[in-house]
Chain A
């Protein structure tokens, strides 16, 4: 069995990513993007550096200009990006876009992978229609018309929707609103007639959009994968996405925790450092213990995905569930243990909480994934 440790190459990638995010995308960068209501939502110079390092193509096959380095590798990048709350198209394009095309794309669709690897082509996955993630609940309709389809419906919580060159949309070509079969994935040009993309603002200052499709005509070549058979590749894609979000949660939780422990060692009350209080020490020790469990689960989920292990779905859901739960714990405790300072915008600790919640919800929160783990385990 594969050892639960990073290889030398994976560790090198992690170190390189840590250096890049630390120098080129520190927390102050996100703060600035937020304060200036930056229209792009990321810093192109930083994205170019990330692309030069090959990060955008980490999952892309070599034949399409990527490094095909695997999920363990990309997971290290996601984790390090989580530590500095780095805003970039890495997740929506480098993870979701790349894997959607790898899983379901035909040869000509896969050409987009070259653009993903060189950072020039951005994608966004548009699947959710309600506040809570339920990927099989698809009311958006795609009706056959001529050689192609006409799409009607609306999508919400679409990461990078307003900057994407291609939208990956789930729509129903047959079946009832919650049926597993009858879902088809489409590649949609956001500039096509009838597509409205409206940026929506969330507490983390990152890119989300609401996408409305009003009689949008697409050709037969817009179908990604098989008609009516979209839920299988979509579910695989969501496993992958969930594992990478778990890695981001691990990174941001670890950083919030480190900052909290550091604060406990510098804050004095009653004439002593608050780190000397056992009531607080035990809370910190509990969080550390929980973070260690998350670390193991995230790494194992990636290894299972890379190996095509049959347990991969269960492990990815377990990792996302636990990472969400622990992120909630650590960011809440982080604010609490910073006391009044934790409530100020000036201190960064609140930013970690405000990033954690949307990531927890994205592709399913603790409850969604705990339910899925139970289902996959047969109870």
Chain B
């Protein structure tokens, strides 16, 4: 038996023993998600226990080094862990911008002190992070950001406004891009800084979206003190890290094009809603559109797979994340348009406990942001045109 087989057996046994039964079913709504953080209210004792047990193993961040609380797993072991979790439909113990975004950036660019300070609480789900990137005047032109960090010797004083900060009202710490030098080319005067959301001068205001929900906030920074040791990497060199994180974010958002395991496909949902006639979806025009979508979806999923395989074989195409972000988010938007069409007026029922398509209207509207956040589709097209095709 190979080491990996042994690892699989041990993992399977451990999960069997430690994953509470109630954590072994797909999450029904956002309310089932565990985000952790100082003020997080666990849905159940099981949810708390599941996080605690996984965090003790470092398996909330399976591929991070053990010295910072991570699982220290190899790529293959990590894959086995995910497979074994999927096998029993185990829920993710923790959703975390710390694990997805700032953690990897600190690991790659941060000082040893920053790693020691921030990574273990992220792994344990004790500190919840939010991302301070966009500003009212800096969306697609992110490098044009204006939040000003003035050098006061051992600290900075930050003034400015951030927008589209996911869950800023619930987060404990923020990682933010700020301007530390206004006198140089815009990309060369930006730094990535970390601060506690309880610092005096930080305030947030939720933004109500077209879906009626408020996952994003405006964040106001008024004379916020940021210690100098909370700069990730070098002062004025934050744009490099920002680009790294944007690429990372793109590939995460781009994943939306895939139908997750266990989730019903668009075609299956349409069959539920519309029915079959002679073995074919009863609405022939809708069937055509869904077939076309299904073909594009196969293309997207295979391209994502090929990009990974190529990267592993050392034949990685740079900037491929821009294409996957573009294709994945546009597909997801189409998917929801077709779902609304399949359910017809019943799919647009805005309220009520007994809606055939559940919260479909809200989900449908949420997808409109997919091709805006993390770089608009138009920005992805710019990246492809300039960086891959050399057009200019």
A286 CA / B384 CA spacing, docked (Å): 9
From known contacts A3-B313, A4-B309, A315-B298, infer whether A281 and B287 are also in contact, taking CB-CB under 8 Å. no
Q: Contacts A5-B315, A275-B392 known; A293 to B303 CB distance under 8 Å?
A: yes
- Kindly state whether residue A238 has any CB partner on chain B within 8 Å: no
Contact of A373 among B281, B291, B326 (CB under 8 A): B291
A-B interface pairs (CB < 8 A), number? 122
Interface residue ranges of B117-145 to A (CB < 8 Å): none
> Count of B residues near A, CB < 8 Å?
44
Q: Is the CB of B300 closer than 8 A to any CB of chain A?
A: yes
| Residue A285, interface by CB 8 Å | yes
Q: Which of B267, B292, B299 is within 8 Å of A294, CB to CB?
A: B299
Does B13 count as interface, using CB distance less than 8 angstroms?
no
Check B207 for interface membership: any CB of A closer than 8 A: no
Instruction: Decide if B75 is an interface residue (CB 8 Å cutoff).
Output: no
Contacts of A278 in B (CB 8 A): 382, 385
Q: State whether the Cβ of A374 lies closer than 8 Å to any Cβ in chain B.
A: yes
**Which of chain A's residues has its CB closest to B323's CB?**
A289
Most buried by B among A275, A297, A367, A371: A297
Q: Does B55 contact A (CB under 8 A)?
A: no
- Does A209 belong to the interface (CB within 8 Å)? no
A265 to B386, CA, bound (A): 12
State the Cβ distance, A272 to closest chain B Cβ, in Å.
10
Q: Is B28 an interface residue (CB 8 A)?
A: no
Contact of A377 among B288, B294, B388 (CB under 8 A): B294
B327 CB contact (under 8 Å) in A289, A321, A322? A289
Q: Which residues of B contact A355 (CB under 8 A)?
A: none
Q: Quick check: is A296 within 8 A (CB to CB) of the other chain?
A: yes
- Docked CA distance A286–B279 (Å): 35
Contact A374 B327 (CB under 8 A): no
Q: In the complex, which residues 271-292 of chain B have their Cβ closer than 8 Å to any Cβ of chain A?
A: 271, 276, 279-281, 287-288, 290-292
Q: How far is the CB of B322 from chain A (nearest CB, A)?
A: 9
The answer, yes or no, to whether A270 is at the interface (CB within 8 Å) is no
Which residues of B319-375 are within 8 A (CB) of A? 320, 323, 326-327
Residues of B within 8 A of A (CB): 267-268, 270-271, 276, 279-281, 287-288, 290-292, 294-296, 298-300, 302-303, 305-306, 309-310, 312-313, 315, 320, 323, 326-327, 378, 380-382, 384-386, 388-392
- A/B interface sample: 25 pairs, CB < 8 A: A4-B302, A4-B305, A4-B306, A275-B391, A276-B391, A281-B385, A285-B381, A285-B382, A285-B385, A285-B391, A288-B384, A292-B320, A293-B299, A293-B303, A294-B299, A296-B303, A296-B305, A299-B306, A315-B298, A370-B288, A374-B287, A374-B294, A377-B294, A379-B268, A379-B270
